[in-house]
C-alpha cells in the first residue's frame, strides 16, 4: 500500500512538472490589430519624410516598431490589395485582379482570419467602404464583420449614394465597442477610408489649415483615429500583448503622371505605401528596413509570429527574421 502511494505521489508531481513546462514553453497568444489606411501614400507620413506634424500618432508607432521604407501594394485597387494582404497571394493568384466589386474571393483560398479563428481567437472587422462589403468574400473567419454603411455615415458634403462609405470616427467607435473589456486573444481589423476621394478639408476639425490640401486633411484625420485605437489598448492593459500592423492598401497620384487619383497607373505614387509592424512584448525591436517588400509578405510574417500553419500556397515572404 505504501509502495502504491509513493507511485501516486510521484505521478502527481510529474504531471505538475510537465504541465508547468508546457505552460512556460507554449507559444504566446498575442492579440493582433491591423489598421489598413485606404489611399495613403507613404510620403505623407513623417516616418517617410512627409509633411512635418501631419501624422504624429503614426510616426510614434513607427518609432516603436519596424518601418519598411519600401513597401509596395501589389495593385492600386482596394479589394484586390486587401485580398493579397490577407492571403499572401498576388492578384493573379487569388483572382481579384480586375477592379472593385466585379468578383468574390474563392472560398477555398485560406485567409488570415480563418486561421486565427480556428486557433480560438475572437475576430472582428470594421469596414469603411462598400468596396470591402462582405459579399466580396473577405468576411470569412470573422465572428463580427461590421460593414454597416448608413446614408448619414459619410463626411459632410459627400453624396452617400455615389460614395458608400463612413467616416473613421464611426468605424473606430464600432471597433472600440467590440474591444471593450475583451481579454480573450483577438484579431481586430480596422479599415479607414478618409483620404479617398472626394477629399474633405474637415474644416469642422482643422478650420482652414488644409483648405488647399484636402487630401492631407484625410491623412491627419485617420492619424487621430489610430490614436484612439492605441489609447484603448493601453487603457485595457493590452498594449504589450498586441501586435500592431499599419498598412496602406495603395497610394494616390494627386495629378502625377497625368492621373488624378489611382487605379490606372503603377508608379510609386499609387503603389508605395506605409507599412509598420510593431511586435508585442517589452523587447520590441526598432528598425528601418530599406529592402523592397510587398503587402503579400504580411500574411506569412504573421503566420510565423502567431505560430500558425502556413497554407501550402503562399507567395509572400516571411519578414519576421528582419524584424
Cell numbers for 70, please give them: 519600401
Judge if the upstream peptide bond of residue 198 is cis by omega within 30 degrees of 0: yes
pLDDT at residue 45 tops 90? yes
Residue 9 has pLDDT above 80, yes or no: no
pLDDT tens for 79-97 read: 999 999 999 999 999 988 7
pLDDT at 316: 95
**Residue with more model confidence, 96 or 7:** 96
The model's pLDDT over 263-313, given as tens digits with 9 standing for 90+, comes to: 788 899 999 999 999 998 757 667 999 999 999 999 999 999 999 999 999
Kindly report which listed range (31-35, 122-126, 199-203, 294-298) carries the lowest average pLDDT score.
199-203
Strand residue runs (E) in the chain? 31-37, 66-68, 71-72, 122-126, 144-146, 186-192, 242-248, 272-273, 275-278, 287-289, 293-294
17 pLDDT above the threshold of 90: no
pLDDT greater than 90 at residue 100: no
Cα(320)–Cα(318) distance, integer angstroms? 6
Give the pLDDT confidence score for residue 111 in this predicted structure. 97
Q: Is-contact 252 270, C-beta < 8 A?
A: yes
The 10s digit of each residue's pLDDT in 219-249 is 999 999 999 999 999 999 999 999 999 999 9
Residue 260 banded pLDDT, cuts 50, 70, 90: confident
Quick one: pLDDT at residue 102? 67
Q: How much is the pLDDT for 10?
A: 45
Place of cell 468574390: 104
Judge whether 178 and 187 are in contact, CB under 8 Å. Answer: no
Q: Residue 228's CB: how many other CB atoms inside 10 A?
A: 16
Dump pLDDT digits (tens) for 145-197.
999 886 555 565 555 544 578 999 999 999 999 999 888 899 999 999 999 99
Q: Name the average pLDDT for the chain.
A: 87
d(CA 187, CA 112): 9
Angle subtended by helix axes 168-179 and 214-235, to nearest 10: 10
C-alpha cell belonging to residue 86: 490577407
**Which tens digit of pLDDT belongs to each residue from 117-159?**
999 999 999 999 999 999 999 999 999 999 988 655 556 555 5
Calpha distance 251→44 (Å, rounded): 10
Amino acid at each position: 500500500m505504501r509502495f502504491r502511494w509513493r507511485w501516486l505521489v510521484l505521478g502527481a508531481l510529474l504531471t505538475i512538472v510537465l504541465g508547468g513546462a508546457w505552460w512556460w514553453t507554449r507559444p504566446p497568444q498575442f492579440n493582433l490589430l491591423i489598421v489598413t489606411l485606404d489611399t495613403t501614400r507613404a510620403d505623407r507620413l513623417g516616418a517617410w519624410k512627409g509633411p512635418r506634424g501631419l501624422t504624429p500618432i503614426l510616426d510614434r508607432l513607427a518609432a516603436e516598431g519596424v518601418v519598411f521604407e519600401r513597401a509596395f501594394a501589389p495593385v492600386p485597387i482596394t479589394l484586390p490589395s486587401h485580398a493579397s494582404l490577407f492571403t499572401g497571394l498576388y492578384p493573379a493568384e487569388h483572382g481579384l485582379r480586375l477592379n472593385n466589386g466585379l468578383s468574390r474571393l474563392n472560398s477555398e483560398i485560406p485567409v488570415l482570419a480563418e486561421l486565427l479563428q480556428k486557433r480560438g481567437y475572437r475576430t472582428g472587422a470594421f469596414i469603411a467602404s462598400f468596396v470591402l462589403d462582405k459579399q466580396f468574400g473577405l468576411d470569412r473567419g470573422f465572428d463580427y464583420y461590421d460593414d454597416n454603411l448608413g446614408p448619414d455615415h459619410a463626411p459632410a458634403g459627400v453624396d452617400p449614394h455615389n460614395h458608400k462609405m463612413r467616416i473613421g470616427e464611426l468605424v473606430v467607435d464600432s471597433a472600440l465597442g467590440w474591444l471593450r473589456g475583451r481579454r480573450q486573444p483577438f484579431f481586430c481589423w480596422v479599415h479607414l477610408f478618409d483620404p479617398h476621394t472626394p477629399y474633405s478639408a474637415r474644416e469642422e476639425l482643422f478650420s482652414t489649415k488644409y483648405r488647399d490640401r484636402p487630401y492631407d486633411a484625410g491623412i491627419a484625420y485617420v492619424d487621430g483615429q489610430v490614436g484612439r485605437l492605441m489609447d484603448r489598448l493601453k487603457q485595457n492593459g493590452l498594449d504589450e500583448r498586441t501586435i500592431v500592423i499599419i498598412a496602406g492598401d495603395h497610394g494616390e497620384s494627386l495629378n502625377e503622371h497625368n492621373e488624378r487619383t489611382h487605379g490606372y497607373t503603377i508608379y510609386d505614387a499609387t503603389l508605395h505605401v506605409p507599412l509598420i509592424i510593431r511586435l508585442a512584448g517589452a523587447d520590441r525591436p526598432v528598425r528601418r528596413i530599406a529592402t523592397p517588400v510587398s503587402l503579400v509578405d504580411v500574411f506569412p510574417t504573421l503566420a510565423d509570429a502567431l505560430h500558425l500553419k502556413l497554407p501550402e500556397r503562399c507567395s509572400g515572404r516571411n519578414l519576421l527574421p528582419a524584424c
